[in-house]
Amino acid sequence: MTSPKKHLAKTFRTDIRVRLILVSVLFGLFGLGLVSRLFYLQVYMHNELVARSDKQYLSTVKIYYGRGEIFDRNMNQLATNIEVESIFANPADIPNKVIAARELARALNLDPKTVLSRVSSKKHFVWIKRKCSLKEAETVRRLGLSGLSFVPEHKRFYPKRELAAGVVGFVGMDNQGLAGVEHHFHQVLKGTTRLKVMEKDALGRQVGAFNDLSRSQSQSRDLVLTIDEVIQFTAEYHLKKAVEKYRAKSGTAIVMDPSTGEIYALATVPQYNPNQYASYSPKTWKNPGVSNSYEPGSIFKPVVAAAAIDSGVARPQDIFFCENGEFKIGSVSIGEASDHKFGWLTLQNIIAKSSNIGAIKIAQQLGSQNLFRYIRDFGFGQRSGINLPGEAEGQLRSPDRWTQLSLASISFGHEIGVTPLQMITAMSAIANGGKLMQPRITKGVLKEGQPVRSFPPRLIKRVISEKTSKQMIDVLKTVVKEGTGQEAAVEGYDVAGKTGTAQKYNSETQSYSKSDYMSSFVGFAPADAPRLAVLVMIDEPRGTYWGGSVAGPAFREITRQSLRYLGVPSKEERVYILDRA
């Protein structure tokens, strides 16, 4: 029999052991739970929790490097960007839609019904107005309406407004190039967006990342044009004056450096302001200098004369009988402008007096195949490859598709379609010693101010010999001195050129109009060392229509002021040469 003391001790030990086991089991279970939980959090949920944590302390900043700028040849800005704000809304967060729509419409000058339909939309994102002015954004911000948000955006801005708009073009709402070099060089100019991950604190403020986030370090590329702002302005100013004076439908003027093919000015009237392009007719957005082709009329005669002299079938002093003003080809009778009746004329006088019959006689001596070959060589009937959209190739049929009348018609600039750009390029070839240069509108591409691409002058081919070129320059000087182009003469400079007065073809009546003309003048100066080739075309002038009277004065003023600007001294002024030594 055991004593009660011993029994009590045994019971106590058993009790302790049970308790210890119980506590151990509990600890074991707790440990197991802890390990399971850790496994769940650290292994099973690892990716999700890391992502959640990143979301809490990391933020992604979008850095937009704006669209590249466009400059003229002297780095004057023609297109740039300004930072503006766009306003969008989450309609679900707007409590009183009617009041909000009314206030927004008033502040942003929008139609209240349109705004109401936007804020009543079931979508979670609606634009209220894109690219607002700073004043508009500030007014809306002051309204304190809920559900509205602001996002910074870049807006294209053309500080020179209408100047060179036909060349520069414009961009759409999402900065996509729609016309001009903006369209042609969209891939070069388009802005880039970079995403940068940064740490943020509990208040959402960015911390860390001392890298440069400024927008000034542009990643975009800028474009430099061959256009000269001053010459472009001069061309536009005088072209506009001529178009207004003669109440013409439109006008085009091109100024080119004949030795390199660089275009200093490409002016078009009517003009448009690219900052508000939508307010103008889409017709004005076109660039007729490169995209329209016309029957050139008599300004084409120098091409025929140059071909004849170069191929050796005629010399400037050779004489041709001009049939006393009436020449029959088959059943068609061809006469002279102003019913002139010319008898025997030298080739030089045929061009100076712009005799149609004389031009036919020259072309007949040259022959269809030869004439066609020279016309092609001068760049007609094919695109020049200028960096502008919508270039036309003109119309030039091959001789096997010519009629009995074609050779005659083409000799004085009919039955052929040429673009103003082709015409001035051909005239430049006559001026520069016979080399056909590719016309160029772009000078180079810059990245962070440093050139990364350039567009050097490109010789397409030699079209006529230097000797022919010199002879043609003398012929064309006579046009301005004694012939039809006297109103194009520039005081103090020798000018060579040719007038053109082309009757326009009316496709409705299928005949040449008696009232609608294309009046033009194309020439270069100083004649013996040309610095500029200038073409002026006035479409459908009223009152008078002779190329010499309508386009000649505009040519004279553009040439005079441009030569002055380029520092080419006239014969009348004093010139000193100072030796620095």
Partner 1 sequence: MILLFSVFFMVGALAFVWSNVKMIKFSYDYQALLHERNELLRKNQILKVERESLQSLNRIRVLAREELGLIEPANTDRVTIFLK
Residues designated catalytic: 298
User: Which of 103, 229, 257, 336 forms a contact with partner 1 (CB under 8 A)?
Assistant: 229
User: Which of 15, 54, 482, 491 forms a contact with partner 1 (CB under 8 A)?
Assistant: 491
d(CA 387, CA 261): 13
Q: Minimum CB separation from partner 1 for residue 578, in Å?
A: 5
- Determine the residue type at 514: K
Q: Is 574 in the site for partner 1 (CB under 8 A)?
A: yes
Tokens of 210: 């001392």
User: Which of 4, 204, 208, 456 forms a contact with partner 1 (CB under 8 A)?
Assistant: 208
Selected range binding partner 1 among 36-44, 81-89, 103-111, 371-379, rule: CB under 8 A: 81-89
DSSP 180-241: HHHHHTHHHH--EEEEEEEEE-TTS-EES--S---TTS--SEEEEES--HHHHHHHHHHHHH
Q: Minimum CB separation from partner 1 for residue 194, in Å?
A: 15
Task: Let me know: does 425 contact 413? Beta carbons within 8 Å.
Answer: no
**190 to 224, 367, 388: CA distances (angstroms):** 15, 51, 17
Q: Is 237 in the site for partner 1 (CB under 8 A)?
A: yes
Task: Let me know: does 428 contact 264? Beta carbons within 8 Å.
Answer: no
The residues in 101-140 that bind partner 1, with binding defined as CB under 8 A, are none
Q: Minimum CB separation from partner 1 for residue 49, in Å?
A: 24
Q: Is 160 in the site for partner 1 (CB under 8 A)?
A: yes
Of the two residues 237 and 505, which places its CB atom closer to partner 1 in the complex? 237
Q: Is 58 in the site for partner 1 (CB under 8 A)?
A: no
User: Which of 210, 312, 328, 401 forms a contact with partner 1 (CB under 8 A)?
Assistant: 210
Q: Minimum CB separation from partner 1 for residue 153, in Å?
A: 13
| 353-356 long-range contacts, CB within 8 A, separation 24+ | 353/483, 353/484, 354/298, 354/301, 354/479, 354/483, 354/484, 354/498, 354/499, 355/322, 356/298, 356/411, 356/412
- Determine the residue type at 406: S
What is the sign of the dihedral through the CA atoms of 291, 293, 297 and 300?
Answer: positive
Of the two residues 47 and 216, which places its CB atom closer to partner 1 in the complex? 216
- Determine the residue type at 235: A
Residues 286, 514, 517: CA angle, nearest 5 degrees: 30
Q: Is 567 in the site for partner 1 (CB under 8 A)?
A: yes
* Secondary structure (3-state) at 27: helix
d(CA 538, CA 553): 12
User: Which of 1, 195, 202, 207 forms a contact with partner 1 (CB under 8 A)?
Assistant: 207
Q: Minimum CB separation from partner 1 for residue 567, in Å?
A: 7
How far does Cα 298 stand from its chain's mean position? 30
Selected range binding partner 1 among 166-174, 252-260, 467-475, 567-575, rule: CB under 8 A: 567-575
Tokens of 248: 């013409």
Of the two residues 232 and 484, which places its CB atom closer to partner 1 in the complex? 232
Of the two residues 334 and 554, which places its CB atom closer to partner 1 in the complex? 554
Q: Is 205 in the site for partner 1 (CB under 8 A)?
A: yes
Selected range binding partner 1 among 205-213, 282-290, 518-526, 534-542, rule: CB under 8 A: 205-213
Q: Over 224-280, what HEC string results?
A: EECCCHHHHHHHHHHHHHHHHHCCCCEEEEEEECCCCCEEEEEEEECCCCHHHHHHC
CB-facing half-sphere around the CA of 457: CA atoms within 13 A: 13
Q: Is 217 in the site for partner 1 (CB under 8 A)?
A: no
Selected range binding partner 1 among 13-21, 77-85, 301-309, 432-440, rule: CB under 8 A: 77-85
User: Which of 11, 36, 206, 324 forms a contact with partner 1 (CB under 8 A)?
Assistant: 206
Task: Let me know: does 549 contact 522? Beta carbons within 8 Å.
Answer: no
Q: Is 580 in the site for partner 1 (CB under 8 A)?
A: yes
Count of chain residues binding partner 1 (CB under 8 A): 40
Q: Give the residues lining the site for partner 1 (CB under 8 A).
A: 76-77, 80-83, 157, 159-161, 163, 201, 205-210, 213-216, 229-230, 233, 237, 491-492, 567, 569-570, 572-580
